[in-house]
Structure 1
Amino acid sequence: MHKIAPLIFVVTTFFPLASMATADAHVQSERELRDECSGELTGVRECLEEKAAASEVDLKDAEKRVIDVLTQWDEDTKYVNQAKAKFNASNKEFVKYRDAQCAFASALGGGAIGNALAMRRFACIAELNSRRAFQLRDLVSDRPLK
């Protein structure tokens, strides 16, 4: 029995982290997004704008998934309602953070023309939305449902 406890600790601690790191590796950074779009014939700005729009759809899907899981969560109504309220507050704060962070990312373009600044902003939005969507899905992936 004493040999099983450390094994359970290792399995429950490190395997979720390993799977999270693997899944997170698929979320592209701003730089990777800009690099990927630099080869597009339609134009870098348009490509990044499309990636930002697609990430918004993905984020909305993840948010809907959270609400669906919380609605079906096998927990006392009091705690379900608390989680929903905190989720709503978290979403509002995320939007504030994303807007501020992407304004900063855009500002790092310095004296570049507006199109280049917009490209930095779209890449930032796409990355942060994608990371948030991944995070939300991961947070509710193990909730026991009714």
Structure 2
Amino acid sequence: MKQIFQRYALALFWLAQEENQISEFMNECQQILKIFAKNQDFLQLIKNDALKKEEKKEILSSVFKNEIPSKILYFMNVIVDHHREKYIQEIIEEFIQICLKHLNIKKGTIYSTIPLSDVQIQKMEEKISTLLKSKVILQNQ
């Protein structure tokens, strides 16, 4: 299965690279994943075998048309056309991982008993970025 995710994710990455918009595409895809996470029913609807391809594409278009670049929407439609919509979330996650690697960005999680302020997180990111010689993005849990 991972090969399927990688194949589609790489295709989107090559498109983003060709458009010189890797960061922008990555950010948009992160927003798409947030929408999927907040709306599991929406994600299940897209994955539902009872719906026809055209219906799924119409749903995607109605939700994302003015929210994401048309090329990402077109890519999501290609996923539906090839009957890979069950893996749409995993494909997007794989695309983000490819982008992070290409941009030399490391992600991490800080576990603390009390929530850290944005300033504290930023200071930690800067120190770790210096140590690792790459950009670091941290989230607090």
Q: Same fold (TM over 0.5)?
A: no
Structure number with bigger Rg = 1
- Give the structure with the higher percent strand: 2
TM range (shorter): under 0.3
- TM-score normalised by length of structure 1: 0.26
- Give the structure with the higher percent helix: 1
